[in-house]
Amino acid sequence: MKEQEIRKKVIELSKKLKNKEIHVVLSSDTQYNKINDMLLTIIIKEQKLKCIYVSLNKEYKILQKRLNSLGIDSSKMYFIDGTGKTVKADNCTFLSGPHSLTELSLAITEAINTGKFDFLFFDSISTLLIYNTIKTTEKFSHYMTSKIRDNNLGSIIISLKKDKEAEKLIPILSQFCDGCIDVSG
């Protein structure tokens, strides 16, 4: 898929987030960083939506540097770092690791309950499946999407398209969401 086509889909998606919709975004492993960068740039920098960023595979410090290089003010975001690494930061909750769904649930609830954010960016469901069974991930996904809806937020849930376990989860996860957008090319 060409960058122009992807950008068009991302712009359409950003409008849906303003309507508090929840969408799964399927990305290829080769386009993953590029897609995430484009999503965040358009949604946060251009559309000016406020974000809770759940990261299970990139540390807070690395994310902050990447976002700053894109011209995104990460100080106006809230991060939930599930990598298991910790540093001192006012705008981040650090979890013991991506296996701790109770900790993750509490952190998401706490961030949502502040009422300061427009959407939740979940990166990624594929990583969650590395540390948890598909059944556990299904239950967690249902809980998370319900929590997001109950609090009138939009959400993007990232998944790698060619991840075998994620491919099994996507049809189930799609039932809880408003749509599934394939930008894997």
* C-alpha to C-alpha distance for 113 and 169, rounded to whole angstroms: 27
pLDDT of residue 163: 67
* C-alpha to C-alpha distance for 162 and 180, rounded to whole angstroms: 15
Average pLDDT over residues 111-132: 95
User: Does residue 15 have a pLDDT over 90?
Assistant: no
Closest CA to 9 of 185, 184, 183: 183
pLDDT of residue 185: 74
User: Does residue 108 have a pLDDT over 70?
Assistant: yes
User: Does residue 138 have a pLDDT over 80?
Assistant: yes
| pTM, entire model | 0.95
When the candidates are 3.30.365.10, 3.40.50.300, 3.40.50.970, 3.40.1480.10, the CATH number that belongs to 3-182 is 3.40.50.300
What SS3 state is found at 155?
Answer: strand
Model confidence over 143-169: pLDDT tens digits? 999 999 999 999 999 999 876 778 889
* C-alpha to C-alpha distance for 115 and 94, rounded to whole angstroms: 20
Inter-CA distances, 41 with 15, 46, 52, 146, 150, Å: 14, 7, 14, 26, 26
Inter-axis angle of helices 32-40 and 3-18, nearest 10:
50
Contact 138, 173 (CB under 8 A): yes
Model confidence over 20-75: pLDDT tens digits? 999 999 999 999 999 999 999 999 998 999 999 999 999 999 999 999 999 999 98
